[in-house]
């Protein structure tokens, strides 16, 4: 498929969009990056389902490091395509924010090219057709570490407007 896409558009960036497993579920993140037409790697990070029983913060830091190492060996960028950690209460949100801060600092330190949190949205309101789950971040107060990280990633010319 990547050869086909490259044949249609030589300038189109191509990624697999995989969860980043290493030989699990028929997926191997490192081998996918060996495909010549793949321009950058991707990985997801959900400790509740991917690392049951392990410390979410430490597991995430290890997962980020492993993917950074793979990207460096391949000489290609790596994108943390999705990450999340459930938090239902104020206390859980504070804990999650601390974990996010550690993860995002590691992503910065290890030159992960970008990260996309799952998911931002509005709290449940009357007439809303679905129930948000514990992953939903409804406001900056739910995870200020994400805002702080985003501000650091912005070009200097955008920082003043982002802080307003």
- Kindly give the confidence (pLDDT) of every residue in the chain, 164 residues in length, as a single tens digit, with 9 standing for 90 and above: 999 999 999 999 999 999 999 998 889 999 999 999 999 999 999 999 999 899 999 999 999 999 999 999 999 999 999 999 999 888 999 999 999 999 999 999 999 999 999 988 876 667 777 666 789 898 899 999 999 999 998 877 565 554 55
Using DSSP's 3-state secondary structure scheme, residue 27 falls into: strand
What is the number of domains present in the chain?
1
CATH number at residue 118: 3.20.20.80
Q: Domain residues for 70?
A: 2-163
CA distances from 164 to 24, 74, 122, 159 (A): 44, 40, 20, 9
Give the whole-angstrom CA distance, residue 106 versus residue 118. Answer: 18
């Amino acid at each position: 498929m990547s050869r086909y896409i490259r044949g249609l558009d030589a300038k189109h960036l191509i990624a697999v969009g995989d969860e980043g497993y290493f030989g699990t579920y028929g997926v191997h993140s490192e081998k996918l990056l060996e495909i010549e037409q793949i321009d950058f790697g991707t990985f997801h990070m959900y400790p509740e389902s991917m690392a049951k029983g392990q410390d979410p913060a430490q597991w995430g830091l290890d997962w980020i490091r492993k993917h950074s190492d793979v990207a460096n060996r391949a000489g290609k960028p790596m994108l943390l395509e999705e990450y999340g950690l459930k938090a239902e209460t104020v206390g859980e949100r504070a804990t999650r924010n601390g974990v996010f801060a550690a993860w995002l600092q590691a992503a910065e330190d290890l030159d992960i090219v970008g990260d996309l949190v799952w998911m931002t949205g509005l709290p449940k309101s009357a007439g809303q057709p679905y129930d948000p789950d514990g992953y939903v971040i409804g406001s900056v107060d739910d995870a200020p570490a994400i805002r702080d990280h985003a501000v650091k990633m912005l070009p200097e010319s955008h920082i003043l407007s982002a802080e307003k």
